[in-house]
Structure 1
Amino acid sequence: MFHPSCSPDCWRDAAMDSAEPLKKERQLGLLADDRHDSGLDSMKEEDYALLVKELRDIRLQTPEERAALQHPPAQPWRQQVTEEGDTFLHLAIIHEEKALSMEVIRQAAGDPAFLNFQNNLNQTPLHLAVITDQPEIAEGLLKAGCDPEIRDFRGNTPLHIACEQGSLRGVCVLTQYCQQHHLHSVLQSANYNGHTCLHLASIQGYLAIVECLLSLGADVNAQEPCNGRTALHLAVDLQNSDLVSLLVKYGADVNKVTYQGYSPYQLTWGRESSSIQEQLKHLTTTDLQMLPESEDEESCESESEFTEDELLYDDCVFGGQQLVF
């Protein structure tokens, strides 16, 4: 626990005062590198230095000191929350105070409500540990009981974020220290855009992560709920020949069609990469190699049944008189 040198009330006032510089714009799209934490790089240099000094001034009790106390004192740092919904642990992770973060995690082990607390962007400390690329913190959180299935405001679990960012270390930590039932659920779940972790890694072209996910049991034929594209369809769209080969190697169904009825091979028509077309042609059934007829073509055929002189109606009446054509 944290034991301030002043009284608990004094510490509480100081803690909240130190959170004032964090009241900044937190919209992700406004960040230069579009990072998801919304707290990084939001403070002035002098404000950040002041916060770090105040955090380091807090003395952490040793296990011996805690054992010597018959009645543990209150832990105000567990209840402190900024206007953006960040707890003391959120802030320590955002500002990459590793030692402080690990100590808080150690003391909060067994307290899932605190470890899984979501800020205003629905981010848990585990989300922030992945965003800031701190796999050691992520490992500590998972070992302490943090839930890896919780979603942020975009429907992303921490593993979704690691896959999108291309953090192989983050993916390895999240999958290695994740309980088996959590891992299976996270691998199959889609975010609010309909993308699974495999979809996100495929879109970004992170082959090592794609292979890691597939080896762990990710569904290679999972379809986006909006249009039914699989990772193989995405690989063709992106003209990523290496990704196509990797997905086929892991059993991707080349005859899987989108909700519009297109196979991956049919998506190769009109695209530059002939190697992808050659890879898929001999694996695709004949009926899924040619492009399906469009609705426009069908409507043209229907219209051709009538000549210019033919009218659909010959009994038009205007002003009580039948029109003569």
Structure 2
Amino acid sequence: MPFLHGFRRIIFEYQPLVDEILGCLGIQDPEKQETLESPSCLAEDSSKFLVLNKLLERETQSPFYQEGVSYSLLKVAELGLVPAAEILLQNGANLIFEDPVTYYTALHIAVLRNQPDMVELLVRRGADINRRDRIHESSPLDLASEEPERLPCLRHLLELGADVNAADKNGKTALLHALGSSDGVQIHNTENIRLLLEGGADVKATTKDGDTVFTCIIFLLGETVGGDKEEVQMINRFCFRVTQLLMAHGADPSECPAHESLTHICLKSFKLHFPLLRFLLESGASYNCSLHGPSCWSGFHIVFERLCSHLSSSEDDSFSADLLQKAETVLELMVASSQIPKLPSNFDINSTSCRFQGEKIKALFYSLKQLQHSPQALKHLCRVYIRQRLKPWPVDVKIKALPLPNRLKWYLLIGHGNAGEEDI
């Protein structure tokens, strides 16, 4: 087997040379060695490098010379020893040499160990900046995107010309790696995501399995149900900030299919995800399927369906009041996005299933239907017009800065602070 053969070659053929090379640098156990220590040890470097050069000159004709110096390059790349790497490269180290166990090159390893100066050296000396490993098909940029600590390497790779939209055989890009590696609690790749987006990452990237930039966010939101309160807050905060970044770069949260639509998911759980849903609607997200319109799915239908479902089983007054208030705000946001609301054809509700608050739900529904069939009030038309003119979204900060009476600003803002919103 190639794997075993490569491993045996390290042990029996070129490992002695590797040990000598590392010994010249004062490295006995690379696994425990820190990165290049402190300025106090730099004075010794010149003598170490002289010894290393003499060793390499002496061993040039060794049958396993190139394997030895190339494998040594992997080790010094891991430790960030740039001067030693330069010497090894000058003496024949192969940039495409792979670790026989992980199949990573020196550039991959430098990224994994967050050695940005080493990354720059290797790329400038000819390392393939977009090369993928043979096991996971990860490029250096993919690996740099997966951990917040690797942000310096990510920045260097982008500056050095890495292809920000290169995808593996499954269609996964560095942006999707950054999103998929985030758990919102211990790993927050927010800055990695920001840097990739600013570098031109495509927000429409989709894998062969149909995963989009919102797949990770939808998954994490699902993890908040019944979770630890502190962790739930952290996840919600992460999802909110990443959604802001994605939408600022043109991502559409209302596309089909519905199970991959962030807006659809937030509408179905509008009580739980109210702050994020309000941000989506205030930022111009469609409250219907953005591809097929209300015939595919409609926010109005979803909100009334969830209202009837929740209020058919709970008579808790505080729960009902909070739910109705949030529903009213969501409906008002959807109505305020256009002069005439886009309701699905034959839109109706079955209020008989609502054991509690049925009259209030019917009143909400009829007021909505009336908007569709009656001339719009001037104040509604003015609100829609002003909000549209304040684009790009979101408009809340812009509204607050307008020279208008506070009461009118409050009308334009639509329910800020009235729906028991938790902090994000």
TM-score (norm 1): 0.60
Matched AA of 1:266: H
Partner residue of 1:101?
Answer: 85
Matched AA of 1:161: L
Matched AA of 1:247: L
Q: Distance in 2 between matches of 1:16 and 1:123?
A: 17
Corresponding residue to 2:121 among 130, 134, 140: 140
**Helix, strand or coil for the counterpart of 2:138?**
coil
Q: Which runs of 5+ in 1 are unaligned?
A: 1-10, 20-38, 44-52, 294-325
Q: Distance in 1 between matches of 2:15 and 2:280?
A: 65
**Helix, strand or coil for the counterpart of 1:211?**
helix
Q: Distance in 2 between matches of 1:58 and 1:192?
A: 45
Whether 1:232 aligns to 2:218 is no
> Runs of 4+ in structure 1 displaced over 6 angstroms?
none
Say if 1:126 and 1:229 are closer, same or farther in 2 by CA, change over 3 A. Answer: same
Which one is further off, 266-275 or 210-219?
266-275
Q: Distance in 1 between matches of 2:175 and 2:141?
A: 10
C-alpha deviations, 1:123-174, integer Å up to 9, x for none? 1100011111111111000000100121122111111111102221101111
Whether 1:212 aligns to 2:195 is yes
Whether 1:41 aligns to 2:31 is yes
Equivalent runs, 1:89-128 vs 2, <5 Å:
89-108=73-92, 114-120=94-100, 121-128=102-109
Partner residue of 1:164?
Answer: 146
Corresponding residue to 2:132 among 145, 148, 151: 151
Matched AA of 2:265: L
Q: Distance in 2 between matches of 1:107 and 1:132?
A: 24
Say if 1:73 and 1:218 are closer, same or farther in 2 by CA, change over 3 A. Answer: same
Equivalent runs, 1:1-325 vs 2, <5 Å:
14-15=16-17, 41=31, 56=48, 59-61=51-53, 74=60, 76=62, 78-81=65-68, 87-108=71-92, 114-120=94-100, 121-152=102-133, 153-166=135-148, 167-178=150-161, 183-184=162-163, 187-191=164-168, 194-203=171-180, 204=182, 205-226=188-209, 228-238=210-220, 239=236, 240-258=239-257, 262-268=260-266, 269-270=268-269, 272-281=272-281, 283-286=285-288, 287=294, 288-290=297-299
C-alpha deviations, 1:74-94, integer Å up to 9, x for none? 365752359xxx712112223
C-alpha deviations, 1:262-315, integer Å up to 9, x for none? 422112233733111122245124234456x9xxxxxxxxxxxxxxxxxxxxxx
Partner residue of 2:414?
Answer: none
C-alpha deviations, 1:193-221, integer Å up to 9, x for none? 65321112223242222122112211111
Asked if structure 1 preserves the Cα contact closer than 8 Å seen for 2:98 and 2:105, the reply is yes
Q: Which runs of 5+ in 2 are unaligned?
A: 1-12, 22-28, 34-44, 183-187, 221-235, 289-293, 306-424
Say if 1:17 and 1:207 are closer, same or farther in 2 by CA, change over 3 A. Answer: closer
Asked if structure 2 preserves the Cα contact closer than 8 Å seen for 1:233 and 1:267, the reply is no
Say if 1:230 and 1:41 are closer, same or farther in 2 by CA, change over 3 A. Answer: same
CA RMSD of aligned residues (A): 3.8
Q: Distance in 1 between matches of 2:15 and 2:145?
A: 40
**Helix, strand or coil for the counterpart of 2:262?**
coil
Deviation at 1:107, TM superposition (A): 4.5
Q: Distance in 2 between matches of 1:201 and 1:276?
A: 21
Q: Distance in 1 between matches of 2:32 and 2:264?
A: 47
Matched AA of 2:165: Q
Aligned length: 232
Asked if structure 2 preserves the Cα contact closer than 8 Å seen for 1:257 and 1:264, the reply is no
Q: Distance in 2 between matches of 1:283 and 1:13?
A: 59
Q: Distance in 1 between matches of 2:80 and 2:103?
A: 20
C-alpha deviations, 1:27-72, integer Å up to 9, x for none? xxxxxxxxxxxx97379xxxxxxxxx9x94872449xxx9xx9xx9
Q: Distance in 1 between matches of 2:196 and 2:189?
A: 11
Say if 1:12 and 1:223 are closer, same or farther in 2 by CA, change over 3 A. Answer: closer
Asked if structure 2 preserves the Cα contact closer than 8 Å seen for 1:142 and 1:148, the reply is yes
**Helix, strand or coil for the counterpart of 1:87?**
helix
Q: Distance in 2 between matches of 1:159 and 1:134?
A: 13
Asked if structure 2 preserves the Cα contact closer than 8 Å seen for 1:163 and 1:171, the reply is yes
Deviation at 1:232, TM superposition (A): 2.7
Matched AA of 1:88: S
Deviation at 1:176, TM superposition (A): 1.1
Asked if structure 1 preserves the Cα contact closer than 8 Å seen for 2:80 and 2:118, the reply is no
Say if 1:275 and 1:87 are closer, same or farther in 2 by CA, change over 3 A. Answer: same
